Chain A
């Protein structure tokens, strides 16, 4: 593959709250290659959404602030860009879809108009007709039935799943190189979830768009992603191609996660092995491995120093653990 599309190096995004500094993302590094689908999994508060918002430079300041690191997109550091350059970048090069399809669309404009607007913002020379044609074409691509007619409908006339597909249409309308999808199916039912995921992965393959898919659902990851980052307490604790994550998980947290979810294909009567305890309070200083208090394999060393991501001897797989599986 060619060089990396996105390189995140030592990203640190902190929130300065009354009760202390919350290190939501603390020293996170990863890469996305062109047309690769990267999954980021973790529980709430692990920093996966903040990572996405940092890449989009959408962190609300205050209380949040990117305090360190660099985000190189196509070789340029996003963190050094000014607002105008960012606006050009967002939508045309990187676009994002959010969890809640109900509030992401403007209720007073037709969906066709909203797609056309996005297209025209980034292609100033395009005529209204061309832009409208493009939006009908996009709606058709995300499998909205009768796209020509539906382009004239307002968001409230669409169901949740269709709205999320409209969001995908808007996001992909300008052929971005990277699509950041933050829990795109969490608010949807399973049968609708499939209606959204299929066009998303299908189109990204067709257009060669790289996708950064943020989710807590390991099933979605297994079906959609090529590479997976597992995040815990603001750190990436494991990163590996999708098959290896599920077949030979190395970090105890990944192992714990996989053991704690009920699966459709499990035998009846098998029991779950939950991870005990709670994720740590990120506003407190964490010494050692953040997972140490919940880890079944914890040793003294884990409580004293923080493990770095290291290859665990299986190709591209890396894990931040002194005693990986």
Chain B
């Protein structure tokens, strides 16, 4: 990914700048426990997130979108590449400095059941980050917790209850309150609604949007559901097998996708309208996503791509600005 992406001067300032990000997980084997292969979960991701925007990161399972989100927050150590957040190179920070930085970047997790310690009460859960950063004495923290719970639409009355007494949507609200406690600037939301029922999803999506304005948040919204991502994002990045294949304003992406993978992905999404459904042509991709242990050479989408030429097998297409603010990594876009 040679091409460097620069922030367009006309839009907001860059909050996060990711360059050449790679996360490889070693597979150990043999008698001496040597690394025999690498799972290339993230294999050269470039992107930037602007202050105040919502960047959607979509892709199918195993494409590395969640790992990218975690690598940006340094929850997974990147193998290579740089992540600059608020002017600091996160990959080079000492553990102590990184811990301080955590107050500025938070995460909302996918699993409303697994992401809350079952032995903590709701109040303790929301207070944990505040205590870690010594934001006031016991009473002040309790007041802050009550405020936070109110903000996410929960009654502080239930502060002493345990997470298992709440439903999925309510638990997700607790998770959001926790993420907001330290007033971060960046929130990485990793599939925040995919474990929730449809009618509850909308509640949480609306809440996230409300809070963005209120707290001046920047979101990296990681999800596999393209309709949800389209709804909430200003810009969208599509990932395939460890790389960003397309990045643009969400309206443009959905109206005029440039990368063949994006086109196939968009055509596969069922629309809840039988009239439209009966008329739509689907691009059905052949085969399955290749293993990230042995990704195909060149453009890693070429074995499933109907436009593939010889060059696609050999040369990795860089993520380039094909149209104004519309980036795609394809030799034959459009």
Contacts and interface: CB of A to CB of B under 8 A. Distances in A.
Interface of A: 43-44, 145, 159, 161-162, 189-195, 198, 216-223, 242-243, 246-247, 256-266, 268, 271-276, 278-279
B272 A275 contact: no
Interface string B219-260: 000001011101110000000000000000011001000000
A217 B288 CA distance: 22
A223 B269 contact: no
A190 B167 contact: no
A273 B231 CA distance: 13
B97 interface: no
A159 B288 contact: yes
A264 B205 CA distance: 15
A217 B285 CA distance: 21
A310 B197 CA distance: 27
Nearest to A278: B167
A144 to B, nearest CB: 11
B274 A243 contact: yes
B205 A191 contact: no
Contact of B60 (A189, A221, A246, A275): A189
A223 B277 contact: yes
Interface string B200-214: 111101100100000
Contacts of B60: 189-192
Interface of B: 60-61, 167, 169-170, 197-203, 205-206, 209, 224, 226-228, 230-232, 250-251, 254, 264-266, 268-278, 282, 284-289
Contacts of B230: 262, 264, 266
A233 to B, nearest CB: 12
B226 A264 contact: yes
A191 B238 CA distance: 14
A246 B275 CA distance: 9
B169 A278 contact: yes
A271 B284 CA distance: 31
B274 A261 contact: no
Given A219-B270, A223-B274, 18 more contacts: A43-B197, A43-B198, A43-B200, A159-B288, A216-B197, A220-B270, A222-B276, A223-B278, A246-B274, A257-B199, A260-B202, A261-B202, A262-B232, A263-B273, A264-B254, A273-B202, A278-B169, A279-B197
A218 B272 CA distance: 5
A283 to B, nearest CB: 15
A191 B264 contact: yes
A192 B288 contact: yes
A189 to B, nearest CB: 4
B265 A246 contact: no
B265 A191 contact: yes
Which 10 A-B residue pairings sit nearest by Cβ, starting from the closest?
A219-B270, A262-B231, A274-B202, A260-B202, A189-B60, A218-B272, A43-B197, A223-B277, A275-B199, A272-B202
